[in-house]
Chain A
């Protein structure tokens, strides 16, 4: 009862708009982390360039709609195709490296993409960003309001979730999982692992353009600081905290990590520390999950695993 009163007063205080804004952010990060889950979780390509492709999607749609007046429904496929193409070209060269070197290589790609967004002043206006991106319209209705926009993002999240779930259960998905488990064995049963990795990486980057386009039209202003290496690390840690290859886990982890600063503010922590505190908490969770070798944060609290261990002994 008391909690309800506090919650209602909290909502009234900060108004409903803010809560909806948080839900939209959760949807955007769910899309991002689930698309990375295809490359990182299923195929084992730990990539630190995802924010770069997210930014590529956002910049493509922003430039097209501001300069040429294209609508969102035309921008989205163009952004996806462009992001996928760039990822394919990049992965043809980057995937010749393995493990640690691939991570460093993908970080290099991310830094080059960021530096293009930040420094190509003639095209992207650099650090000034691109203002005045129009909002999405559907059958003549403008989606200025947050509620219809939330519904639209919800549709996209469920669509991507469905696609990824089907990929995971398909033969293609099983081969990808086999690559992450034993690369040489998969090669020995006649799979072209290089091609499969390129496909998985490019498709993952292609899906990353969807949240980019949504984000650009939603915020209506983008600048390069949203697409830095730290953002890539954040997306990767959502995937790892949620569990590799676990799509529902990515959703829970992104909801948790987006709502965490609000919860910290609720406890009474000043704003200046809350942002750093969130990063400290997710850094700590990342280290804990990786250190114990568990798949996702949830498994840290599983008692069954201990029982299983005893049974095996």
Chain B
């Protein structure tokens, strides 16, 4: 019984992180309709800047975390301003955005490697404790914070998209950028805003994940891919589908880790992704994607 509760706790913490990631990634995916893989480096950078500000120069955590999120968001915005926006003006084919984001990812990841080193680092905030015991299972403070932040972000993002005017214009640009331009919604500016929000969410997820476990320059890429898998499984364009997707991915990983071996977690995740892409490419929600309509 105790093991099952522990698995349940671990699954919900992992699902919480994937939910933030899927949310942040889909924020960028909705209006631009391409996979911004350089998002992975924003995740890593958030964590690495906290490491830089809080451990190297002793700035208190309360200041250094917002500062790190701000700097990582600037990197995400720079990607849009210097790479994607000129590409959009030139009308490049849609596939090229993904390839250029791969190039950007390699470029920035190696900059991080040179600057911080390739070794695994930890952000040791407080002395290591066993954690709180609830129903015989253990959960640490940072894990509880992760779950709450994730729920709060999810509610805030949904409220923002549905009720604020900026959120509504993001949805307008997502459904038809040309028509929203005609109606006076500047699509480039709206995309820039969604890049900003998405990047700051991603940096937060990176910091939470790095505080929970550890970090290396490439850890963002794996996390991002899990977030992307959660987003595809959940159904692109559906906010409640994201919860189902991230829970499915997290549950599959933890069950595979428990019953098979932790080393098969990656393979199981991508196997599920491929199954979904083939038999149910629309995900749980069943909303139709641009790529599938012809």
Chain A residue, CB-CB nearest to B99? A290
| A293 and B92 form a contact (CB under 8 A) | yes
Chain A residue, CB-CB nearest to B105? A283
| A99 and B94 form a contact (CB under 8 A) | yes
CA distance A276 to B92 in the complex (A): 29
| B34 and A100 form a contact (CB under 8 A) | yes
| A104 and B228 form a contact (CB under 8 A) | yes
- Taking each of A279, A284, A285, A287, which has the highest tally of chain B beta carbons within 10 Å of its own beta carbon? A287
- Which A residues touch B107, using CB under 8 A? 279-280, 283-284, 287
| B96 and A115 form a contact (CB under 8 A) | no
Main SS at interface, chain A: helix
Q: 0/1 per residue, B54-86, Cβ < 8 Å to A?
A: 000000000000000000000000000001001
- Which B residues touch A273, using CB under 8 A? 114
CA distance A285 to B104 in the complex (A): 10
Given the known A-B contacts A46-B99, A119-B264, A286-B99, are A100 and B106 also in contact in the complex, defined by CB atoms under 8 Å?
A: no
- Which B residues touch A293, using CB under 8 A? 87, 90, 92, 96
B273 within 8 A of A: yes
B110 within 8 A of A: yes
Chain A residue, CB-CB nearest to B221? A229
| A290 and B103 form a contact (CB under 8 A) | yes
CA distance A276 to B87 in the complex (A): 26
B291 within 8 A of A: yes
| A283 and B232 form a contact (CB under 8 A) | no
B9 within 8 A of A: no
One of B110, B232, B277 near A280 (C-beta < 8 A)? B110
Interface residues of B in 94-150 (CB under 8 A from A): 94-96, 98-100, 102-111, 113-114
One of A98, A104, A287 near B273 (C-beta < 8 A)? A104
| A119 and B291 form a contact (CB under 8 A) | no
| B277 and A105 form a contact (CB under 8 A) | yes
CA distance A236 to B105 in the complex (A): 14
| A283 and B103 form a contact (CB under 8 A) | yes
- Taking each of A46, A93, A118, A291, which has the highest tally of chain B beta carbons within 10 Å of its own beta carbon? A291
- Which A residues touch B110, using CB under 8 A? 276-277, 279-280, 283
A237 within 8 A of B: yes
Q: 0/1 per residue, B266-292, Cβ < 8 Å to A?
A: 110011011001100100000000011
- Taking each of A93, A116, A230, A283, which has the highest tally of chain B beta carbons within 10 Å of its own beta carbon? A283
A26 within 8 A of B: no
| B99 and A115 form a contact (CB under 8 A) | no
One of B35, B266, B274, B277 near A115 (C-beta < 8 A)? B266
A185 within 8 A of B: no
B94 to chain A, nearest CB (A): 7
- Which B residues touch A233, using CB under 8 A? 102, 106
A225 to chain B, nearest CB (A): 13
A240 within 8 A of B: yes
A86 to chain B, nearest CB (A): 14
A112 within 8 A of B: yes
For chain A, the bracket of interface size reads 35 or more
A206 to chain B, nearest CB (A): 21
B263 within 8 A of A: yes
A94 within 8 A of B: yes
CA distance A184 to B263 in the complex (A): 42
A172 within 8 A of B: no
Given the known A-B contacts A100-B291, A287-B107, are A112 and B90 also in contact in the complex, defined by CB atoms under 8 Å?
A: no
Q: 0/1 per residue, A209-224, Cβ < 8 Å to B?
A: 0000000000000000
CA distance A283 to B101 in the complex (A): 10
A279 to chain B, nearest CB (A): 4
One of A93, A115, A184, A286 near B103 (C-beta < 8 A)? A286
Chain A residue, CB-CB nearest to B92? A293
| B266 and A276 form a contact (CB under 8 A) | no
A252 within 8 A of B: no
- Taking each of B104, B106, B261, B271, which has the highest tally of chain A beta carbons within 10 Å of its own beta carbon? B106
| B98 and A103 form a contact (CB under 8 A) | yes
| B278 and A115 form a contact (CB under 8 A) | no
CA distance A116 to B267 in the complex (A): 8
| B103 and A100 form a contact (CB under 8 A) | no
- Taking each of B102, B113, B277, B291, which has the highest tally of chain A beta carbons within 10 Å of its own beta carbon? B102
Known: A104-B228, A230-B106. 8 other contacts (CB 8 A): A96-B277, A100-B34, A107-B270, A115-B267, A279-B110, A280-B110, A283-B108, A291-B92
- Which B residues fall within an 8 A CB radius of A? 34-35, 83, 86-87, 90, 92, 94-96, 98-100, 102-111, 113-114, 225, 228, 232, 261, 263-264, 266-267, 270-271, 273-274, 277-278, 281, 291-292, 294
* Pairs A–B under 8 Å by Cβ, sample size 22: A93-B278, A97-B278, A97-B281, A100-B35, A100-B95, A104-B273, A118-B263, A184-B294, A276-B114, A279-B110, A282-B103, A283-B107, A283-B108, A284-B107, A285-B103, A286-B99, A286-B102, A287-B107, A291-B100, A293-B87, A293-B92, A293-B96
The 4 A-B residue pairs with the shortest CB-CB distance, nearest first, are A286-B103, A283-B107, A283-B106, A108-B270
